[in-house]
């Protein structure tokens, strides 16, 4: 096995026992990137100092220093999370030359834990997309099938881990952008409870929905990164503390809810059958499988796209091509022309579409009909989940309605937006959810299963995920 194919847990043990050096581990990842990144296009920027950083780690190991949680582990970072001194584009031409002036809180925590950043990953522009086809730096391909999408918007973060370019990565999830690409690429991806991970230093899409989380090869690896990055941060007033719990759940009599609205016409048969297999195995071990109703599911996607677009239109107003990254044009006569020219050339089609939708939803005369109504529906969706969790401990659903689709297959925005149908309600409710691989289709495409937990109960999600990981 190549070193780049190791899990984080395996690599930690290998470094501790001095079976290999950190330089060897990082070089192996960089060699894989050199060989295959051209066809996959997972990275926008490679960290040129990664080898130097690995050399420093080797010095510490040779001097007998204790290793931190992630010492020497090569990670990739989605290109909307600031890493001081590295370019941060958010997949957009308008930020093509923007160099991050400071570290995001999650980056500070990962640095303190000893992680090495191998590079910044490709993504749908400003995290707007479900396929990885909307980046200004070219589309990302799925390592399982180069003719298919890796999912989005954390396309490069998922593709990089699946292609063994790194041992884990960070993504951001606004309506499924960690879980959906994890499902398409056969990985584990966690969307934490809203506020569980600081958003300071994340380029905002929709501030009430965005959440940073890990993408890894195993559940344990996902938990390791989450434990490092979680917690309250004075730079993010929405952040919260989550206590460390030594939890061991009993599968016997564990109540698992299955929402009937998620198993409807349009769900791929192979995905449905795989999830039924997992549920049967859990039931055989004593779990109580119970059908539940999340009645507001039908309205979740419309509600999500109104709120997300409205918040995006406000957040993206700051990108005028002047303050962060200049687009040169000598012909403009005034500031209005300059803004118009910069935003026209700097933003892609999907970003423009959502800015227009959001601005319309917030405009006088339409605010109550759209944005305010969507916020009321959001409260009903939260209530739906609250009622469901009075009856069950955890909820299991498909992560996506289909396996990874072909590049160019869903150019129609509506069919693309439907990719988020099982993931967006979780963001609206602010709950934690994980996607984990449970097998493959006959065409050898990964299938993902989603586990949704109560607010701040990531620990329960991890424990059930480990049980399912053993079962599959």
187 shares a domain with 126: yes
The reply to whether 153 belongs to the active site is yes
8 Å CB contact between 425 and 452: no
- Whose CA is closest to 160, among 20, 4, 314, 284? 4
Q: Are residues 360 and 437 in the same domain?
A: no
Name the domain boundary from 326, 355, 370. Answer: 370
**Residue 32, helix vs strand vs coil:** helix
- Residue 242 domain-assigned? no
Quote the Cα angle for 236-241-242, to 5°. Answer: 135
Residue 201, both tokens: 């230093």
Q: Decide: 114 and 57 in contact? Cβ < 8 Å.
A: yes
Per-residue pLDDT, 334: 85
Is 93 a known active-site residue?
Answer: no
Q: Contact 8/168 with Cβ under 8 angstroms?
A: yes
Question: Hey, what are 289's tokens?
Answer: 């499988």
CA distance 398 to 258: 10
217 shares its domain with 307: no
Residue 183 lies in a domain: yes
Instruction: Specify whether 404 is located in the same domain as 346.
Output: no
Question: Can you give the CATH number for the domain in which 93 is found?
Answer: 3.90.1300.10
pLDDT at residue 328, rounded to an integer = 66
**Looking at the 3D structure of the chain, how many domains does it have?**
3
51 and 176 belong to one structural domain: yes
Length of the chain in terms of residues written = 472
pLDDT of residue 321: 75
Residue 166 near residue 75, CB atoms below 8 Å: yes
- Domain stops at, among 319, 340, 370: 370
| Spacing of C-alpha 204 from chain mean position | 14
Answer for the pair 134, 91: CB distance below 8 angstroms, yes or no. Answer: yes
Listed residues 212, 229, 246: the one ending a domain: 229
Asked, for residue 89, whether it belongs to a domain, the answer is yes
Both 272 and 399 in one domain: the answer is yes
Catalytic residue among 92, 135, 153, 193, which? 153
Task: Kindly state whether residues 217 and 284 are assigned to the same domain.
Answer: no
Q: Which of 12, 78, 217, 456 is catalytic?
A: 78
CA distance 11 to 225: 14
Judge whether 148 lies within some domain. Answer: yes
| pLDDT at residue number 329 | 67
Annotated catalytic, 390? no
Quick one: which of 464, 454, 299, 289 has its CA closest to 387? Answer: 454
Give, for 464, the enclosing helix (H) or strand (E).
helix 458-471
Q: Are residues 183 and 51 in the same domain?
A: yes
> Maximum Cα–Cα distance for the chain, whole Å?
73
Q: If you compute the radius of gyration of the chain from its CA atoms, what whole number of angstroms results? A: 21
Cα 430 versus chain centre, distance: 15
The answer to whether position 68 is within a domain reads yes
Pair 221, 282 in one domain: no
Listed as ranges, residues in the chain with pLDDT below 70 are 246, 325-329
Residue 383: CA count within 13 A, CB half-sphere: 8
pLDDT at residue 325, rounded to an integer: 66
The SS3 call for residue 2 is coil
Residue 392 lies in a domain: yes
Task: Report yes or no on 462 lying in a domain.
Answer: no
Q: Is the pTM of this model over 0.95?
A: yes
Q: What are the pLDDT digits (tens) for 102-137?
A: 999 999 999 999 999 999 999 999 999 999 999 999
- Give the domain range for residue 30: 3-229
Residues 344, 399: one domain? no
Same domain, yes or no: 190 and 269: no
Residue 245 domain-assigned?
no
- Considering only CA atoms, which of 382, 360, 374, 361 is closest in space to residue 427? 382
Instruction: Tell me which of 130, 154, 177, 325 is the catalytic residue.
Output: 177
The DSSP H or E segment spanning 9 is helix 8-16
Same domain assignment for residues 40 and 174: yes
């Amino acid at each position: 096995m190549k070193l780049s194919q190791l899990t984080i847990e395996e690599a930690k043990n290998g470094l501790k026992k001095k079976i290999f050096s950190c330089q060897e581990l990082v070089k192996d990842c960089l060699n894989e990137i050199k060989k295959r990144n051209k066809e996959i296009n997972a990275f926008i920027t490679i960290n040129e100092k990664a080898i130097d950083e690995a050399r420093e780690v080797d010095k510490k190991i040779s001097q007998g220093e204790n290793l931190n949680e992630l010492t020497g582990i090569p990670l990739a970072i989605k290109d909307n999370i600031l890493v001081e001194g590295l370019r941060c584009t958010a997949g957009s031409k308008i930020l093509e030359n923007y160099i991050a002036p400071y570290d995001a809180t999650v980056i500070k925590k990962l640095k303190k834990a000893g992680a090495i950043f191998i590079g910044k990953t490709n993504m749908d522009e400003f995290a707007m997309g479900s396929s990885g086809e909307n980046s200004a730096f070219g589309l990302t391909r799925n390592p399982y099938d180069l003719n298919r999408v890796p999912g989005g918007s954390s396309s490069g973060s998922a593709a990089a881990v699946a292609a063994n370019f790194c041992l884990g990565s960070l993504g951001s999830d606004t309506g499924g952008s960690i879980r959906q690409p994890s499902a398409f690429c056969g990985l584990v991806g966690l969307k934490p409870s809203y506020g569980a991970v600081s958003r300071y230093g994340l380029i905002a899409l929709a501030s009430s929905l965005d959440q940073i989380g890990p993408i890894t090869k195993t559940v344990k690896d996902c938990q390791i990164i989450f434990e490092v990055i979680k917690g309250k941060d004075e730079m993010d007033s929405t952040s919260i503390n989550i206590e460390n719990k030594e939890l061991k759940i009993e599968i016997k009599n564990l109540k698992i809810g299955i929402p009937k609205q998620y198993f409807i016409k349009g769900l791929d048969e192979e995905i449905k059958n795989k999830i039924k297999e997992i549920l049967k195995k859990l039931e055989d071990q004593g779990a109580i499988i119970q059908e539940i109703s999340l009645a507001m599911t039908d309205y979740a996607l419309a509600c999500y796209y109104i709120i997300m677009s409205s918040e995006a239109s406000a957040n993206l107003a700051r990108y005028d091509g002047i303050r962060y990254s200049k687009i040169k044009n000598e012909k403009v006569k005034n500031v209005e022309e300059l803004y118009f020219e910069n935003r026209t050339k700097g933003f892609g089609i999907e970003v423009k579409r959502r800015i227009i939708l959001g601005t319309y939803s917030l405009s006088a005369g339409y605010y109550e009909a759209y944005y305010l109504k969507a916020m009321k529906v959001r409260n009903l969706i939260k209530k739906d989940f609250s009622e469901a969790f009075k009856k069950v401990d955890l909820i299991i659903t498909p992560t996506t309605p289909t396996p990874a689709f072909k590049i160019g297959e869903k150019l129609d925005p509506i069919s693309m937006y439907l990719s988020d149908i099982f993931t967006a309600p979780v963001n609206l409710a602010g709950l934690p959810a994980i996607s984990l691989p449970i097998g493959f289709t006959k065409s050898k495409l990964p299938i993902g299963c989603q586990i949704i937990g109560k607010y701040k109960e990531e620990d329960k999600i991890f424990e059930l995920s480990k049980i399912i990981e053993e079962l599959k």
